[in-house]
Amino acid sequence: MTAEADPALTVLLHDSERTDDGRRVPRRILSTGLLFGVIGIYVAIIGLLLMLHGRWIILGVISLGQATLMAIGLGAGITIARRGRAESRASLLLQSVLAGALAGAVLALLTVIMGLIDLRTIFIALSRPLAKMLTFGQGQPIGPLLLILGGALFAASGTLLTWLPSRGRRVLIVGVCAVVVAGVFQELIQIMMQAGALIGSVRDLLYTWDGLTVQGAVIVFVVASAVAALLAAFAGRKRSVVPILSSGAQRRRQAIWLAIVFAALVVLPLVAGSYIGQVMMLVGLYILMGMGLNLEIGLAGLLDLGFVAFFAVGAYTTALLTADSPTALASYTMIPHLSFWGAMPIAVTMSVIVGVLFGVPVLGVRGDYLAVATMGLGEIVRVIVLSDFAAPLLGGAQGVLQIPRPSIFGYELSGPVQLFYLTLVASTVAAYFAWRLENSRLGRAWMALRDDEDVAQALGISLVRSKLLAYGLGAAFAGLAGSIFATMVASVYPSSFQLLISINVLALIIIGGMGSLPGVIVGAAALVGLPELLREFGEYRYLFYGAVLIIMMRIRPEGLWPSPVRRRELHSDDQILEMEEPEESLALARQVGE
């Protein structure tokens, strides 16, 4: 007997599903509303909400703190819509209204408690300005009611947003994000827009010295939305008419896009100023290190947490060969003072040697044990640099000072913008070598080694040679970055080479996309450049940093720009599961029928 042949059994199954849905909906409303309400209370208790309220997005209209409250309601509505995709729209809209009202009620309860009890002895951030901000200056009981109504309204808006066509939703989100960026970073943007009379007139059209005006917000929204709509239309037309290009035409197209990006990187620091140049230079150094560690982890599968040691070797080698100080080698040996261009190849060579020496003790170690072993080797280097034994040579805790800047034809690269161009050229050359290595026979051997060492060895790949080359070539990129870093800061100290640098480089590879060269660039821009731009938010920028990491790993575990191989590896299980689920469902139905 099957479920299809028994109408009574079919009705029973539908009744049980309806009962489960009836139980699931209140639970969904309650969990979503409480979740976003607790998020609102958390950002209020730690003082972040009040701090954000002090920054205007649109001057005199909406602050970043008020936008955060709106985002809480929108998030509740979007969550409800995504959890109940199979239900009717009227039901989802009602659920989102109730969930948003519940989230607002949680915050409203906080304002009521703050009015009855002085909580500043426990949570110093729960002050009267915060209560005034949460109640919109209306006090009790109108303020809490406004919170509840606002939560319901914005939750409904979040649900309606998910029902828009994907192209329209994307255009709207881009416009709103452009307004938020233009308002939050108005000080930095106005500094960047001081060059030239034409750019100055555009700045006056958008901003006052205190912030973004309503007129400027409308202009930014319209321009950003129009650009997003044009790009979406162009992408849609491109998908509908796919030209068949030869390999040569595809390479020419890629070369044109690379030239455009390179030209933009050349022009941006000149227009934006020294601060942006400093940030871009720091991003470039992490890109160099990321490309080296990507060879070890992304291609060869060798988890290395002592990677910062190679960075330190490059920096100290350059410092000892070029510095004008008693610690420099020229002060007590026959070795003459070298310029940066003479010391840089030696620094890279020393890093390669240390990388190979690092690889020898851990040749037979795999997985998590390899990570611990390499971390220990990196800490050994740091302890040696700090020790009294090596202090006469390396300067100990005082480091090496008076490192000269590099110069080209008598022109000294002294400013952040000039040093950024040095980093840009070094990153471009290193990216070319990394790309060639990835597509070489050695790169394919690394990928085979990453997938399965035993199978790779059975295919005739030398594990010792491949691993040592991975460690040595990866260390070369870090040594180049360390050499440039030494000239940038004009001094090197042991405290500049902490374990956190290795962790940051590993994080940007994971966020960008393991084994992907473009992913390294995108990951460095996201995890190094963005926190630097958020430096004015103080210690809260690390809160944003951690939240972005968590959200990123939930939404795109393969990374922002993953390699095709990595994308297939991570989504192969999902495809298999999609293929197996109908068969499992049919088998379950047959068991119930029998």
Whether the per-residue pLDDT at 121 is higher than 50: the answer is: yes
Supply 23's token pair: 């139980």
> HSE-up of 258 (CA within 13 Å, CB side)?
10
Query: Helix, strand, coil % (nearest 5) of the chain?
Result: 75, 5, 20
Q: Cα–Cα distance between 556 and 553 in angstroms, integer?
A: 6
Find the range with the poorest average confidence among 196-210, 271-285, 297-311, 406-420.
196-210
Whether the per-residue pLDDT at 452 is higher than 80: the answer is: yes
> Which pLDDT does position 401 carry in this prediction?
87
pTM of the model: 0.80
Supply 116's token pair: 């009855």
Q: Cα–Cα distance between 509 and 37 in angstroms, integer?
A: 34
Mean of all residue pLDDT scores within the chain: 84
> Which pLDDT does position 203 carry in this prediction?
83
Confidence band, pLDDT 50/70/90 cuts, at residue 220: very high
Question: Which residues have a Cβ under 8 Å from the Cβ of 508 and sit 6 or more positions away?
Answer: 286, 290, 520, 523, 524, 526, 527, 528
The answer to whether the beta carbons of residues 59 and 51 sit under 8 Å apart is no
CATH class of this structure's domain 272-546: mainly alpha
> Which pLDDT does position 197 carry in this prediction?
58
- pLDDT tens per residue across span 504-544: 899 889 888 888 888 899 999 888 888 777 776 766 777 77
Please state the domain extents for the chain: 18-163, 167-237, 272-546
The answer to whether the beta carbons of residues 269 and 344 sit under 8 Å apart is no
The answer to whether the beta carbons of residues 506 and 293 sit under 8 Å apart is yes
Mean pLDDT to the nearest integer, 327-331: 84
Supply 54's token pair: 């002090």
> Which pLDDT does position 77 carry in this prediction?
93
Own/partner long-range contacts of 7-12 (Cβ < 8 Å, ≥24 apart): 9/592, 9/593
Angle at 328 between CA 323 and CA 330, to 5 degrees: 100
What are the strands, taking DSSP E only, across 380-471? Answer: 407-408, 411-412
- pLDDT tens per residue across span 406-430: 988 888 888 888 999 999 999 999 9
